[in-house]
Amino acid sequence: MPRLRLIVVLLALVPPAWSQNPGGFTPGAAGLGDPLYPLAGNGGYDVEHYALTLDYQPATNHLVGTAEIRARATQGLSRFDLDLRGFALTRLLVDGRAASFTRSGQELVVTPRKGIPAGKAFTVIIDYAGTPEVVTDPDASIEGWIPTRDGAFVVGEPQGSPAWYPVNDNPRDKASYDFRVTVPAGLTVMANGVLVSSATSGGRTTWVWHAAEPMAPYLSTVTLGVFDLSVTTLAGGTPSYVAVDPQLGSTAVLAKLPDILAFYSSIYGPYPFAAAGAIVDDARFVGYALETQTKPVFDRMPDEATLAHELSHQWFGDSVTLIQWPDLWLHEGFATWSEWIWSEHNGGQSAQGFFDQLYSRSGSVDAFWNPPPGNPGSPALLFSASVYLRGGMTLQALRQRVGDPTFFRILSDWAAENRHGNVDTPRFIALAERDAGLSLAHFFDVWLYQLGKPVGW
């Protein structure tokens, strides 16, 4: 072969570097590297808004959706991922032009016709249809889109949202949401935010909800079914939407909702969202409640402590949200301590009483004290009782250490300074040290990170 021909052939086989990366466009990462859920979320962009238009037929468990996602590139993107489980895609547009895509597990890999420059806003529109998934977690609990007798229980902590829409499923990428969900007339759709409208025609009802404040994807819901919905206004003017499955018994506990929110507002600072409420379904087989933003969802009629727990998450979990899942004690420890302080406020057992009772447990009860709440270690142990209880005890021990005025200032500063934001444990420790004027490194090391029953803090 003449030498010139050989060179031409080699050039054709090995494209020069610039043609693989014209204009500095590179693929967005398939995950954000969470220690427990490394593929959750995606690199290279931030979502600003999701507009979800859904049509659901409970009789066949068939979901038809259009997701319109407004995002901004944080790097020059040759392609990017979204998270989505299952479904057939019938249309995928980036900035109005058809884009190619491939699927691999929960990664939906989108290649737009042209690279997206860093800093540029772009829009993705995806039409999809199919049977939404029930996701089984490493701890054997279920989440995602869970069919019920009369609708669906829709929850996403920590990885259920891709079961019903394409999403950048990472708690650090908060966005606003619009929901437009059509179901058979007679069913109620309860999504996050304020109710914009519900209109029936041809035997189908379309429910429109708007969630203006930033929301982590795992807190989104469109739980639907037969519900009695009552809409009231709280003292500060916030609309409250309480939906109850009529199969359930006494709703008396729900009358406490305004008082609980008022109490937490008095100690943690203003309620962080434009809507409040609760979604009380009859789905006991799910086995847990979730602090879905603005309206927690319950799998049964909650007791007062559980109602208080989920409402307190609106401050700690929903408004102030972890960056990485191993810091879950910042949600569950705080919500557990919030149950105790609500009890104390009402003349029931004091938070110190709860602490003393739990602290009396033997150090040899490994599963009570471990894993240490600041480091659950594996996804199967993320929701361990120690994350909740030893996490709550950490706060009560801090209260003992710094005294009430400083302690309550720490909590309200934490809520105010990180409102609608994302946080990690070192940031909490730094804030506590600042407000207390003390070094608390040893204290938090013993309570959050050391194996076994805390001693000598």
Piece of 259-267, 331-339, 345-353, 402-410 that binds Zn ion (CB under 5 A):
331-339
How far CA 62 is from CA of 57, 145, 184, 207, in Å, comes to 5, 11, 12, 17
Cβ nearer to ligand ARG, comparing 227 with 383: 383
Residue from 159, 145, 181, 156 nearest 61 by CA = 145
Return the number of other C-beta atoms located less than 10 Å from residue 47's C-beta. Answer: 22
Give the Å distances, CA to CA, from 333 to 393, 395, 457: 8, 8, 18
Rule CB under 6 A: say whether 339 interacts with ligand ARG.
no
User: CA geometry: angle at 231 spanning 180 and 271, to 5°?
Assistant: 90
Tokens of 67: 């997701």
Q: Exposed e or buried b for every residue in 71-92, given b needs 16+ CB within 10 A?
A: bebebbbbbbbbbbbbbeeeeb
Q: Which residue, 213 or 332, has its beta carbon nearer to Zn ion?
A: 332
107 binds ligand ARG (CB under 6 A): no
Question: Of the ranges 6-14, 110-118, 305-313, 418-426, which one interacts with ligand ARG (CB under 6 A)?
Answer: 305-313
The residue from 354, 383, 428, 444 that contacts ligand ARG (CB under 6 A) is 383
For the bound state, the minimum distance from the C-beta of residue 335 to Zn ion, rounded and expressed in Å, comes to 4
* Binding piece for Zn ion, criterion CB under 5 A, among 10-18, 88-96, 334-342, 420-428: 334-342
Select from 8-16, 325-333, 343-351, 365-373 the region that touches Zn ion (CB under 5 A).
Answer: 325-333
Is there a cis peptide before residue 272, judged by omega within 30 degrees of 0?
no
Please report whether residue 37 would count as binding ligand ARG according to CB under 6 A.
Answer: no
Residue 383 interaction partner, one of Zn ion, ligand ARG, none, beta carbon < 5-8 Å per kind: ligand ARG
Exactly one of 47, 208, 219, 290 binds ligand ARG (CB under 6 A); that residue is 290
* Beta carbon of residue 135, minimum distance to ligand ARG (angstroms, whole number): 9
Does the protein bind ligand ARG through residue 381 (CB under 6 A)?
no
Q: Which of residues 359-378 bind ligand ARG (CB under 6 A)?
A: none
| 92 alpha carbon, distance to own chain's centre | 25
Residue with tokens 């100690």: 267
State whether residue 276 is helix, strand or coil. strand
Least Å distance, CB 293 to ligand ARG, is 12
Contact flag: residue 139 with ligand ARG (CB under 6 A): yes
Amino acid residing at 341? I
Q: Does 335 bind Zn ion (CB under 5 A)?
A: yes
Residue 143 interacts with, from Zn ion, ligand ARG, none (CB under 5-8 Å by kind)? ligand ARG
Measured distance CA(331)–CA(318) in Å, rounded: 8
Please state, in angstroms and rounded to a whole number, the distance separating the CA atoms of residues 53 and 423: 31
Closer CB to ligand ARG, residue 83 or residue 310? 310
Residues 189-219 as b or e (16 or more Cβ within 10 Å = b): bbbbbbbeeeeeeeeebbbbbbbebbbbbbb
The reply on whether position 157 binds ligand ARG by CB under 6 A is: yes
In the complex, which residues of this chain contact Zn ion (CB under 5 A)? 332, 335
In the complex, which residues of this chain contact ligand ARG (CB under 6 A)? 137, 139, 141, 143, 157, 288-291, 309-310, 313, 332, 335, 383
